């Protein structure tokens, strides 16, 4: 069944199980599909949804609506959608630190922030070597508390997702110690660094090269014994005509990647085995920019897809902290 058959008139929830939008490309994916779970649309009406992050203690999902300069909230208990923070300083990617606090990338301030328990905002980083960051995009927290984020120029290219400005730094990936404020460049040779996540044992860092030539790629790096140094850069996945964006890893090492661009047949989420083999797909009627795991068992996928947010229960849990 093609996507045109699945979504002939836009989004319509499935009336039959298993949901035809959840597709096995390889028998290895079959065990992750729940035959009585379908894709649900939780919210719509955004301009560009990004950076979903789950708060299990509050039973809500937060995500960015970047051009509308706000962070949105979906409440699991009531199903209600509301504004969590507006203006948001054109926030993009989010995660939580190991103390449960919200860690955010902000295009508007070209900075990384932490929302404290009392709601106040602490600026963790807004410059490097005396120069302003570009527009922090996606962000994860390692088990040792260090914060890793990508800093492409997308948010300063115009006034739609931030404030137009000229970059003063190369497009780097950084590792930040939030306790000391010390930051180092861990990768500076990526064309448009975007989504990133660790393997379950944190021995590998995956980074999306969203401006790769001739095709976009997901790169893999080995983590050094110091927990900071990356080596052995390699292409884990060649995206071909697709556009990978944000991604997360499950506890078995599979990569769940927001996907789309151009042909609607690519829109949704692609799932890759640890060896880079495509094994599954979640078809959506919109391009998916980013996703996260959440829910009671950390086994529900929340997908920020253009103007909407979707969810699907799966039979595997996500890695904590991204």
In whole angstroms, give the CA distance from residue 23 to residue 186. Answer: 36
Residues 6+ apart with CB under 8 A from 82: 72, 73, 75
Does the annotation place 315 within a ligand binding site? no
Under CATH, which architecture does the 3-313 domain have?
6 Propeller (2.120)
Residues 6+ apart with CB under 8 A from 233: 187, 189, 219, 220, 221
133's tokens: 């960051």
- β-strand pairing of 255-259 with 121-125: unpaired
pLDDT score, position 8: 64
Catalytic residues: 245
Domains of the chain by residue range: 3-313
Q: Which of 8, 6, 11, 1 has the alpha carbon at shortest distance from 286?
A: 11
pLDDT at position 201 is: 97
What pLDDT sits at residue 263? Answer: 67
Q: Is 68 annotated as a binding residue?
A: no
Residue-wise pLDDT tens for the chain (322 aa)?
667 667 766 788 999 999 999 999 999 999 999 999 999 999 999 999 999 999 999 999 999 999 999 999 999 999 999 999 999 999 999 999 999 999 999 999 999 999 999 999 999 999 999 999 999 999 999 999 999 999 999 999 999 999 999 999 999 999 999 999 999 999 999 999 999 999 999 999 999 999 999 999 999 999 999 999 999 999 999 999 999 999 999 999 999 999 997 667 899 999 999 999 999 999 999 999 999 999 999 999 999 999 999 999 999 999 987 6
Is position 194 annotated in a ligand binding site?
Answer: yes
Model pLDDT, residue 320: 85
Enumerate residues 6+ apart whose C-beta is below 8 A from 88: 64, 69, 70, 71, 106, 108
């Amino acid at each position: 069944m093609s996507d045109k058959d699945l979504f002939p008139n836009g989004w319509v929830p499935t009336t039959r199980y298993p949901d035809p939008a959840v597709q096995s490309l390889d028998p290895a994916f079959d065990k992750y599909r729940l035959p009585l779970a379908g894709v649900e649309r939780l919210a719509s009406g955004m301009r560009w949804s990004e950076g979903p992050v789950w708060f299990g203690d509050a039973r809500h999902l937060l995500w960015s609506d970047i051009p509308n300069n706000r962070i949105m909230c979906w409440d699991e208990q009531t199903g209600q959608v509301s504004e969590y923070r507006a203006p948001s300083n054109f926030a993009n990617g989010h995660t939580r630190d190991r103390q449960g606090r919200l860690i955010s990338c902000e295009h508007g301030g070209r900075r990384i922030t932490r929302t404290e328990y009392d709601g106040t905002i602490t600026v963790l980083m807004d410059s490097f070597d005396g120069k302003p960051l570009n527009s922090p995009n996606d962000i994860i927290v390692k088990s040792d508390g260090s914060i890793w984020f990508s800093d492409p120029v997308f948010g300063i290219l115009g006034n739609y997702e931030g404030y137009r400005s000229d970059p003063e730094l190369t497009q780097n990936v950084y590792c930040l110690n939030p306790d000391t404020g010390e930051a180092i460049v861990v990768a500076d040779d990526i064309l448009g660094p975007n989504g990133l996540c660790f393997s379950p044992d944190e021995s590998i860092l995956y980074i999306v090269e969203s401006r790769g030539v001739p095709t976009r790629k997901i790169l893999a790096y080995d983590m050094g014994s110091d927990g900071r140094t990356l080596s052995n850069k390699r292409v884990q996945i060649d995206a071909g005509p697709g556009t990978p964006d944000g991604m997360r890893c499950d506890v078995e090492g599979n990569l769940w990647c927001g996907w789309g661009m151009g042909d609607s047949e690519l829109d949704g989420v692609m799932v890759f085995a640890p060896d880079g083999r495509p094994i599954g797909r979640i078809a959506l009627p919109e391009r998916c920019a980013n996703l996260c795991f959440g829910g009671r068992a950390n086994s529900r996928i929340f997908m920020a897809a253009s103007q909407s947010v979707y969810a699907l229960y799966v039979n595997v849990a996500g890695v904590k902290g991204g």
